[in-house]
Structure 1
Amino acid sequence: MTTTKDPGSSIFFRLTIDGLDLGLFNSCDGLAAHVETEEWQEGGNNGHVWKLPTRVRHTPVRLSRPLTPETARVTAWVSSVATGITRPTAQIVALRADGSQVAQWGLLDVLPLSWTGPTLDPASPTVATEVLEIAHHGFTDARAA
């Protein structure tokens, strides 16, 4: 009898930047690649039009979570852009509730685009959350990240 693992009903995401653990996030959005193409109409070939790849675009990745002690690491990384830009490699690992790995992605040349902290309002009972948005130049072998 084989058992199947939970397909991911309770997934969370661990983000590391060049080995620096920025903690666990509840949501991750924007892991995508779009291949732009150019059409080429070959003379004498009326059966189809060639689609030739020209470039690959990657959308920004947005990660969000409630505030944690790792929030200070995130804001320090975002603030470090002011003293010079380095483009590190990142790793995002999707984890089940039991900590077992579902999938992982390595991101090349990561740059923080924005960080949004919580609205701190004593009249509002909502959870204090943060959102980190990062840009990258493509995917790499996640084990190398």
Structure 2
Amino acid sequence: MTAPSGTAAERDLDKVGANHFILSIGGLAIGAFSEIEGLTVERDLLEYQEGGVHSHVHKLPGRLKYPNLVLRRGVTNQDELQKWFFDSVAAAQLREVTVTLTDAMGGDVRTWAFEAAFPVKWVGPKLAAGGDNPATEQVEIAHQGLTVT
């Protein structure tokens, strides 16, 4: 039995490209990015060697770990990320950061929300007189947790 066109059951089977996404900081959509890394969560593994038990080691779930987000884009006249980084020098300005994957029609497919995020690194473009590569910048953002919707 096939699902009616456009239903949730049908959309669940659709493949979505990883090249349509929106980054928002504090609810404000921030320009186009060529790449976002760090949509990852990993659980520590605690191993417990019980005395007298030689057949196996107990494996227990530990804390969750979240790597930093790494954002890359071409340099533009929009400087919100650089401003956020330098404004956070004295005291980190914590904000919610969301990355929303969209389909080709612009509909939301999945959203990753990062809690208590703040910038920890900014890398400016590599400038070379003889080069013809586009000027790019990179921002690294730490956060305290991830939820997926």
Shorter-chain TM band = 0.7 to 0.9
1:89 is aligned to 96
- Separation in structure 2 between the aligned mates of residue 14 and residue 69 of structure 1, nearest angstrom: 18
1:73 is aligned to 80
- Separation in structure 2 between the aligned mates of residue 12 and residue 127 of structure 1, nearest angstrom: 21
Structure 2: gaps of 5 or more residues: none
Aligned CA-pair RMSD: 2.5
Aligned residues: 140
- Separation in structure 1 between the aligned mates of residue 64 and residue 114 of structure 2, nearest angstrom: 14
Identity of counterpart residues, as a percentage? 31
Normalized against structure 1, the TM-score is what?
0.78
Structure 1: gaps of 5 or more residues: none
Quick check: 21-30 or 47-56, which moved more?
Answer: 47-56
Q: Which of 45, 60, 64 lines up with 1:52 in the alignment?
A: 60
1:17 correspondence with 2:33 = no
| Structure 2 counterpart of 1:111, one-letter code | F
Q: Deviations over 1:38-61 (max 9, x none)?
A: 123457776653321221111111
Q: Which of 127, 134, 137 lines up with 1:130 in the alignment?
A: 137
Q: Displaced runs of 4+ in structure 1, greater than 4 A?
A: 1-6, 41-48
Normalized against structure 2, the TM-score is what?
0.76
